[in-house]
Amino acid sequence: MYDLVLKGGTIVTRDDVFEGDLAVQGEKIAAIGQGLGAEGDNILDVSGKVVLPGAIDPHVHMDLPIQGGSRSCDDFASGTMAAASGGVTTIIDFTVGSRESTMTEDLEKRLSAAKDSYIDYAFHAEMVGWTPARLDDIRAVTEMGVRSFKFFTAYASSGRRTDNGQLLESMRVLAELDAMAIVHAEDEGIIQAMLDKMPEERKSDMTALGVSRPDLCEASAIASVAWLARNSGARVHIAHLSSRLGLKELLKAREDGADITAETCPQYLLLTDEAYLREDARFFSAAPALRTSADQEALWDALARKDVSFLATDHCPFTNEQKTWRGRFDDLPYGLPGVELLLPLAYSEGVMKGRFSLSDLADLTSEAAAKLYGLYPRKGNLMPGADADVAVIDPEAEWTVKGSDLRSRCGFSPYEGMTLQGRVFATISRGEPIFLDGDIRGRPGRGRFLAQ
């Protein structure tokens, strides 16, 4: 007998869509087929519903300290509870680097912070305060199960920026280890030049955010990073791609031989810089900045072609109070919530609007990220032997996004008032239903660290 059978759903893989049952034994998927319900101790009727691999959000920031002593408002318990409510069964967060600590110390602190997670998690290691000793740090952290490393080409004042020479040396080590560089690609020189010539009174307008971080800023950084990747042999991934100009540089770099991939986020597909004209514009402070409708369409097309590999949310939530307007756009914390809405937004705005297929959805929200970050085939698919991580969507459910109804602590949503078609009905993590029909069934602390 199977421990659990999901009966009568539309099962979606990267390559196929079919009606059937999915059986779970222990923490693993045991079988997919017809008539398995007769052999199940517990039956979950999912007739008329869509059964997908549990979503993977490979870019989140839980319990992130920021300048001024504040932190992103979701810790690993609240943030992963929100994730589970949206069909996400795995997150990949980041260590919090500093000039004073080693990267292994950074990882140990984050492993401790993540102990209350509802779902499984991995980490990218953040590079802050580069010195030659960091090259040994990279080697040490890979031995602890982390094989992806976050670099910034901006934020020099906080020590996060890694210059080209340092990045090249790091990429050579990453190539040797078959590890990956993840890059926040914005050109610090362009940002600083824009700010230097900006009158102080202009900074009291939220539209100045987009002016200070234009699409040229992203494209320039991608071009530079790609050149370093080609000349080091390293694999590189561009975080939160936001613009068609950045996309153009990405595709050119790939044609020139760089081993380069990218993700984009729902905010760059569904929001535009018109948000900076709203009375509540302060809520939309983020970097990269929001772009235009033309950028949106370019990114949707790139997702459909798989020129952009997958979706991520860059979930970095702050409360109403934390986003209080203090007179300048650059006095706001940068970040938007989104982990709970990754799968519903992708289904409603991607599949239901004909931008990509159900099989594409499974790839873009789960399998592609699992493969890139070394979690496949344990994660990212519905094949027997994989972890029984499953998201079930009710395709008939129509609902309106209200931040107050979501489980993130921030209390608002950038997609407030948007009507969506399709809602998560159930989330199963390693065989355990942790969210079902609106109710959280899981518990904090059941999530496990995943070595890459």
Tens-digit pLDDT profile for residues 400-435: 999 999 999 999 999 999 999 999 999 999 999 999
Which token pair is 135? 């090259």
Torsion of CA 359, 365, 366, 369, to 10 degrees: 120
Q: 389-416 as b/e, with b when 16 or more CB fall inside 10 Å?
A: bbbbbbbeeeeebebeebbbbbebbbbe
CA distance 401 to 170: 42
Residue 39's pLDDT is 80
Cβ–Cβ under 8 Å, residues 235 and 172: no
- CATH for 4-52+385-396+419-440 is 2.30.40.10
Which token pair is 276? 């900076």
- Give the closest residue to 393 by CA, choosing from 355, 354, 350, 430: 350
CATH superfamily of 55-372: Metal-dependent hydrolases (3.20.20.140)
User: Within a 10 A sphere around the Cβ of 217, how many other Cβ atoms?
Assistant: 28
CA distance 411 to 421: 22
Residues of the chain with pLDDT under 70: none
CA distance 245 to 219: 6
Which token pair is 204? 């009291």
Integer CA distances (angstroms), 408 to 58, 62, 80, in order = 17, 11, 9
All structural domains of the chain with their residue ranges? 4-52+385-396+419-440, 55-372
Tens-digit pLDDT profile for residues 214-241: 999 999 999 999 999 999 999 999 999 9
Residue 67's pLDDT is 76
Residue 128's pLDDT is 96
- DSSP-based three-state secondary structure for 56: strand
Predicted TM-score (pTM) of the model is: 0.98
Phi, psi for residue 140 in degrees, rounded to 5: -70, -40
Residue 15's pLDDT is 87
Cβ–Cβ under 8 Å, residues 189 and 197: no
Check residue 407 and report its DSSP letter: S
- Identity of the amino acid at 323: K
